[in-house]
Amino acid sequence: MIIKRLTMHNFGIYAGTNTFEFTHEKPVVLIGGMNGRGKTTFLNAVLLALYGENSIAYKESQYRSFGQYLRAYVNKNDQTNSSYIELELIVTDTTPETYIVHRSWNALTKRTKEEINVKRDGLVDSFLTENWALFVENIMPSALSGFYFFDGEKIAVLAADDTDVQMKESIRSMLGLSILDVLKNDLLRSQRRIGKQVTDIQTRKQIQELRFEKDAVIKQLSEIDGQVEALQKEIEEKQRDIDQLYRKHKAKGGDIVAQRNDLFQKRSEIQADLAHVNDELVLAASTVLPLTLVKDLIQKIKLQAEDEYNDLVLRESTEQIEMLFDDFVSQNTVSSSQGKAFIKYLKDRTASGQEPPIYELSNHALFQANNLIEHELDDSIGSMKSLLTKKTQQTKRLDELDSYLSFDINEKELTEISFQIKCKQKEEMDLRVHLSSLEKERAKVNSLVISKTAEFNRNVEEYLENAEMKDDASRMMKYSNIALNIIDEYSIELQKRKTSLLAETITSCYKKLANKRNMIHTIIMDAATLEMSYLDGHGNTVDKNSLSAGEKQLMVISILWALAICSKKQFPVIIDTPLSRLDSLHRTSLITIYFPEASEQTIILSTDSEINNDYYGLMKDYVGDEFTLKYDENTMSTTINHGYFREVQ
């Protein structure tokens, strides 16, 4: 199966009509977007288009009805209050066929109901429209969708779950055991219904006693399970109390007491820095800074001095002209009367516009005055402002430190809180010891349940073998027990065969992804309990708690990968926030190994911090279609751009 197109109209954060079209043949599709920009909405839209009310996204949501779930996704920007999604698929089990699933609804009335329309190869198919849920369960069961469409954050949570209940349910679904459980429950109900009709009262009484014994130990096992669950909750409460005491210890100044010496050291450093700043302020005040008070007067002096300098230059020029003219007259036989008249005119003209000099500054003094006005005064003011700003900041930090050091810390109260923390920690440890004891007791009771169940079944078989089949009720009891035994044996054999293959596949997938490949050499799975054990190269058990958070997450991804492989179904893989809580080495493994091999089409929904430029470069050869989700603050909606975060590349 390949997804060719997804269209969303007024769906969630997507206002108007937005379409993803997947045209490239490379296996990886990159859809980038910051948090809250519509990545999870894309995943939920695919699940909704495929499964409707059977979508795992709806089942895991907090909505009490499917109508409420649909209404929650109606984007009301264009005031139409109507939405639709349309998914185009190519299914290639035999010959390629194209399916288009269209689901539409609105929020115009209190009751919201969807309409579905299905096309096959471009033509409306009324049968598929009415029976799409049945059809999609045949080609891609909803129970398997969690193996192919999953959220990286949920994987991280699943990896931290010590109970593995959800993972075991997924494994049982893949193995097909859930169907056998339904059949077994139906047969048991049939037995209870016809058990009253068995004619041999004595034998029936013995079987009934065995049944009571079996039910009693099953009840005992259930009670122990309840005690285990209660203890786990109590341990969690103790941990919350300890965390609260730690916060109280911190609020009462516990951290300040521990850091007091460091705070005194920082205070001394700041005081020394302040003294240095004050020295620099005094030094700045001893130079040209005071002249800033008379900057306007200095400006006037400079202008007057420049005028005086220009007048001086003009007078000297006139005198020089007169001297040159006298030399010219003495060396040439020319009349000097007209030249002297011109020189007199020049002198008179020059003298008429001049005023008596006041300052008579030299060239050097005039240069100094100009430099003072143009540069030195402004530089001095800027330096002084910088120093005053620094002084203000350091003074503020000093006041903060003084306020910390002046806290009235009740060390007696802190000691009491520390004592309470130790007591709570001891209580938590005692609870954990009790929990360990209960778990051992549970193992014993569970063995007793198995033995009592086997004894009950054996006696039922003996009774049925010797009983005369006089009526239909007796025959039904016999054959139903035979069927139950066959189901039990078949379940065990099925689990042995499939769990062995599944464990080998998980081992192979994990070794491809893990960096410390020598740590876990083999993964084995108990055929009865579906418990997994990790073995090193010497056959020794590796403690699950020794795995890092990233390694646990890789193990869950390896299990999902293996489940998808063992299901022998070729479906797209969609991963939301794929690299959550993984370090760089584990991210590289997923990018270069898992993403290209996970499926024929792997759609990655990522932020720019998960798959950044470096990781993008590692996976570029496998990437076909690329999109970026852009959010508009004005319309509060997301649109689709081609390319993966081009603005940061």
Q: How confident is the model at residue 28 (pLDDT cuts 50, 70, 90)?
A: very high
User: Would you state the pLDDT for residue 142?
Assistant: 78
Q: What is the Cα 504 distance to its own chain's centre?
A: 31
> Is residue 530 within 8 Å of residue 477, measured between CB atoms?
no
Considering the domain architecture, whether residues 449 and 532 belong to the same structural domain is answered as no
Contacts of 138 (CB under 8 A, 6+ apart): none
Specify the 3-state DSSP secondary structure of 217.
Answer: helix
Chain Cα centroid distance, residue 319 = 88
Does residue 399 sit in the same domain as residue 418? no
| pLDDT at site 92 | 79
Strands 2-11 and 82-91: antiparallel
User: Quick one: 400 and 263 in the same domain?
Assistant: yes
Rounded distance between C-alpha atoms, residue 261 and residue 251, angstroms: 19
Give tens-digit pLDDT for 548-593: 777 777 888 888 788 777 777 678 888 887 776 677 777 888 888 8
pLDDT of residue 8: 96
- Tell whether 476 is covered by a domain: no
Euclidean distance between CA atoms 189 and 480, whole angstroms: 10
Average of per-residue pLDDT values in the chain: 80
Higher pLDDT pick, 160 / 481: 481
Query: In this model, does residue 535 exceed pLDDT 60?
Result: yes
Q: How far is CA 567 from each of CA 176, 556, 561, 604, rounded to the nearest angstrom? A: 10, 16, 10, 22
CATH number of the domain encompassing residue 50: 3.40.50.300
CB under 8 A, 24+ apart: contacts of 477-481: 477/191, 477/194, 477/195, 477/198, 480/187, 480/190, 480/191, 480/194, 481/191, 481/457
User: How far, in Å, CA of 231 to CA of 429, rounded?
Assistant: 12
Same structural domain for residues 344 and 361?
yes
Helix (H, G, I), strand (E, B) or coil at 8: strand
With residues binned 3-state (H G I as helix, E B as strand, rest as coil), the percentages for the chain, rounded to 5, are 65, 15, 20
593 in any annotated domain: no
Same domain, 49 and 128: yes
Mark whether 42 and 133 lie in a shared domain.
Answer: yes
Please give the sequence-ordered ranges of beta strands (E in DSSP) within 482-601, or none if there are none: 522-525, 532-535, 541-542, 573-576
CA distance 325 to 327: 5
Same domain, 267 and 370: yes
Q: Would you tell me how many other CB atoms lie within 10 Å of the CB of residue 303?
A: 12
Residue 478 confidence (pLDDT): 72
Residue that has been written with the tokens 């035994």 in this structure: 485
Does residue 509 share a domain with residue 436? no
Count of structural domains within the chain = 4
Q: Is residue 557 part of a domain?
A: yes
User: What is the Rg, in whole angstroms, of the alpha carbon atoms belonging to the chain?
Assistant: 44
Query: Strands 28-32 and 602-606: what pairing?
Result: parallel
The rounded distance, in Å, linking the Cα atoms of 21 and 98 is 14
3-state secondary structure 396-454: HHHHHHHHHHCCCCCHHHHHHHHHHHHHHHHHHHHHHHHHHHHHHHHHHHHHHHHHHHH
From the list 466, 453, 461, the residue with the least C-alpha distance to 480 is: 461
Query: What whole-number distance in Å separates Cα of residue 147 and Cα of residue 574?
Result: 10
Give the CA dihedral 298, 302, 307, 308, nearest 10 degrees. 90
Q: Are residues 263 and 399 in the same domain?
A: yes
The answer to whether the CB of 395 falls within 8 A of the CB of 278 is no
Q: Is residue 474 part of a domain?
A: no
In the predicted structure, residue 201 carries a pLDDT above the cut 50: no
> 559, 505 in Cβ contact below 8 A?
no
Confidence (pTM): 0.53
- The answer as to whether 475 is a domain residue is no
Report the Cα 365 to chain-centroid distance in Å: 69
Which carries the bigger pLDDT value, residue 141 or residue 433? 433
Residue where a domain terminates, one of 372, 405, 438? 405
165: containing domain: 152-193+482-568
H-helix or E-strand spanning residue 31: strand 28-32
Q: What is the mean pLDDT of residues 257-269?
A: 70
Q: What percent of the chain has pLDDT over 70?
A: 78
Pairing of strands 14-21, 2-11: antiparallel
Task: Give the CA distances from residue 593 to residues 505, 558, 596, 597, in Å, rounded to whole numbers and listed in that order.
Answer: 15, 11, 6, 6
Q: What is the pLDDT of residues 332-364, one digit of tens each?
A: 655 566 666 766 766 666 666 566 766 666 767
Does 206 map to a domain?
yes
Q: Quick one: 217 and 93 in the same domain? A: no
pLDDT-derived band at 167 (thresholds 50, 70, 90) equals low
How confident is residue 255, by pLDDT bands cut at 50, 70 and 90? low
633 φ, ψ (degrees, to nearest 5)? -65, -30
325 lies in the same domain as 354: yes
How is residue 540 annotated by DSSP?
P
Residue 540 lies in a domain: yes
Q: Which of 44-48, 334-338, 380-384 has the highest mean pLDDT?
A: 44-48
Say if residue 392 is in the same domain as residue 487.
no
Q: What are phi and psi of 623, to 5 degrees?
A: -90, 130
In the predicted structure, residue 97 carries a pLDDT above the cut 80: yes
CA–CA gap between residue 173 and residue 595 (Å, rounded)? 24
Distance CA 510, CA 517 (A): 8
CB atoms inside a 10 Å sphere around CB 62: 7
Q: Is residue 252 part of a domain?
A: no
| For residue 25, pLDDT beyond 70 | yes
Q: Where does the pLDDT of residue 648 fall: very low under 50, low under 70, confident under 90, or very high at 90 and above?
A: very low
Cα of first residue to Cα of last residue in the chain, in angstroms, is: 32
More confident residue, 307 or 597: 597
